[in-house]
Structure 1
Amino acid sequence: MLTYAFWNNKGGTGKTSLAFQTICRYADRNPSKRILAVDVCPQANLSELFLGGLTNSGSKNLLERQGLIPRCSVGGYFQLRLPSPFTAPDFSVQDFLTKPAEYNPTIPQNVDLFCGDPLLELQANAINTLANTQIPGTDTWIEIIDWIKDALDQVRDEYDVVFIDANPSFSIYTQIALSTTNRLVLPVMADDSSRRAIQNAFSLIYGLKLPSDIYSKYAFVTKLEQAERSLPQVHVVAKNRITQYMGPASAYAAVLRSIEQDVSILINSNPKIFTFSQVNKGIVEIRDFQTTGVVAFARGCPFYRLASGKLDIGGHRVQIQELYKTDCIKAIDALVDML
């Protein structure tokens, strides 16, 4: 079972929208594979998209799932783990999963969903405290960090690929998500804050360029390596929301070239943290989805299932042009081709 995570510790890079379209398209192109989407984000936007989006009761459907007993979400599963944090209780992860196609017919039948939950923010302090508890003979941090791994181990033979949408932070629940990840998809945008964010991402996960040795002892990489666990490898850097105005002489293009240069340097100095050996093999450009994206996400609809022409969105008539929609599908296909 291969696990991908979409993550950047900077918000606004289009991570969730990119994850949604990628997961749906991957599932559509691989109908014989079983896919599990895991939403480890308190905003739960990915879950709302899968369950119908803004105009098709995605939020209402998510609240319905969270209102069940047990609470059908990642937060519900973590709630089960809190009273027995270091020893997994008897549970079935299937009790916490959702079939999104039952709520949203545009979603492929071979996708299941582990819903996100705002409870994660409330749980974070308790989880952090438990992870730092001192118990002789027990690595409490690892026991906590394995919570999602424990759940996925139950269904390892039932799914071929897991896609995780992780919160744009490095909080404890994000670390729990990334610790079980094999491959990382890093979305970036054409602004200098994205460049700094990707540098921060390499520091947070791989301990690169830490400001002082004092942080090394507590670093994510140090704790995982001490437990003989593997780190996720960067598999794709997605240049997201590229526009037709971003010519080679533009300031935006210069920032994106700088990001490529940073990644190229890291490939040479730390090749083990990448799945690719040349920067051009691991970078994909994703055009700005513009109106097509707004409509698709309002409806919780994959691009390839979105009708062209005039559509109603919240009482407004919006035009979806076939050419633009085709370009959006091609952009997502370019990323899916790399998975």
Structure 2
Amino acid sequence: MEIRYAFWNNKGGTGKTSLAFQSIVRYAEKYPKKRVLAIDVCPQANLSELMLGGLNSKGSEKLLERQGLVPRCSVGGYFQLRLPSPYSPPVFDAQDFITLPHEYNKGVTNNIHLVCGDPLLELQANAVNTLANNQIPGTNPWIAVVDWLKDFLAQVEDDYDTVFLDCNPSFSLYTQIALAAADRIILPVMADDSSRRAIQNAFSLIYGLKLPSEIYAAYAFATKLKAAGRPLPKVHLIVKNRITQYMGAASAYAAVLSAIETDITKLLKSNPEIFGFKTIPKGFVEVRDFQTTGVVAFAKGLPFSKLQVGKQTINGHRVQVKDEYLENAKVAMDELVSRL
């Protein structure tokens, strides 16, 4: 297996899933010989709905169909299998939990496979937490549970070249399971103060940086992974997402983004080991707001490359995709994908 990317930010509304979808489908288009696995580790399962056709093509109904199979063909179905066997993998076939989106949505290339998301994750969260926090002599229950996705990927490591994980905007244990399976993190940020705080919190949560008290250090994700000799994922790319035409050099938005860059510059000096890049230009990419273009693409479950210019019907409404905006979206995603 070549590499595993996780799209994550513990703040909602940063456009994480829309970026993940367009990045994955474009990556698969640009590298048709790459075998790509997308894992939707989010209870909202929006990535899965997009992959299966979006709103217009009843992606949510197709997702329910997959979740209705026996075994349940989703990440929740796999976790359900692990609940009675949390500390050592049972006998299972990973293919039981994998969907081929191209069979449901011809806009997605056939080199993408998908482990669907599942709202069941929220129901499973309490049980998973309890299992991870058990005290068992001679066993590290937390590591055993955090390794659930690694156990899954170990079975299919020869089948895929690149894995993408779309994570929930939280630091729930199922999110930690996803991040522990990743090599690199793609972190989308918005141009507002709450995004700046969120990115600071993200580094505290994953790497244990600037914790408010030493009390938290022993329980930190980084502490427990390091104690078990496990590597931490590196921050591979920070995406300045939903930049608008109004965000000029003198704007308040630009000031916030500049402050985020300053924060990262300091961390690059103090903690270079947590990054996959050495300079700010290598670690940041800008993506302009997709606006109506994005709305139409996601309603249809289409990569920008397959979207048509002109008036279209979305959920009974007529909207227009403008050539200039579509081209901007394509350029932005090509730039992002070129960094993967």
Residue aligned with 1:71, SS? coil
* Superposed displacement of residue 47, structure 1: 0.3
- Correspondence for 2:302: 301
- Correspondence for 2:113: 112
Rounded to whole Å, the distance in 1 between the matches of 2:251 and 2:330 is 26
* Superposed displacement of residue 317, structure 1: 1.6
Q: Write the mapping of 1:1-339 to structure 2, written as runs, cut at 5 A.
A: 1=1, 2-339=3-340
Residue aligned with 2:4, SS? strand
Rounded to whole Å, the distance in 1 between the matches of 2:251 and 2:325 is 23
What one-letter code is carried by the residue in structure 2 that aligns with 1:46? L
Residue aligned with 1:163, SS? strand
* Superposed displacement of residue 251, structure 1: 0.4
Rounded to whole Å, the distance in 1 between the matches of 2:44 and 2:155 is 26
* Superposed displacement of residue 309, structure 1: 1.1
Structure 1 gaps of 5+ residues are none
Rounded to whole Å, the distance in 2 between the matches of 1:304 and 1:138 is 49
User: How many residue pairs align between the two structures?
Assistant: 339
Residue aligned with 2:25, SS? helix
Residue aligned with 1:329, SS? helix
Rounded to whole Å, the distance in 1 between the matches of 2:81 and 2:169 is 24
Structure 2 gaps of 5+ residues are none
Rounded to whole Å, the distance in 2 between the matches of 1:189 and 1:4 is 20
Rounded to whole Å, the distance in 1 between the matches of 2:277 and 2:161 is 22
Q: Deviations over 1:30-78 (max 9, x none)?
A: 0000000000000000000000111111000000000000000000000
4+ residue runs of structure 1 moved beyond 3 angstroms? Answer: none
* Superposed displacement of residue 117, structure 1: 0.2
* Superposed displacement of residue 321, structure 1: 1.2
Rounded to whole Å, the distance in 2 between the matches of 1:89 and 1:235 is 33
Residue aligned with 2:70, SS? coil
Q: Deviations over 1:106-141 (max 9, x none)?
A: 001100000000000000000000000011100000
Rounded to whole Å, the distance in 2 between the matches of 1:54 and 1:317 is 15
Rounded to whole Å, the distance in 2 between the matches of 1:261 and 1:40 is 31
* Superposed displacement of residue 29, structure 1: 0.1
State the Cα RMSD in Å.
0.5
Rounded to whole Å, the distance in 1 between the matches of 2:32 and 2:303 is 15
Rounded to whole Å, the distance in 1 between the matches of 2:199 and 2:154 is 30
| Identity within the alignment, % | 68
Residue aligned with 1:331, SS? helix
Rounded to whole Å, the distance in 2 between the matches of 1:316 and 1:85 is 48
Rounded to whole Å, the distance in 2 between the matches of 1:184 and 1:177 is 11
* Superposed displacement of residue 312, structure 1: 1.1
Rounded to whole Å, the distance in 2 between the matches of 1:111 and 1:210 is 39
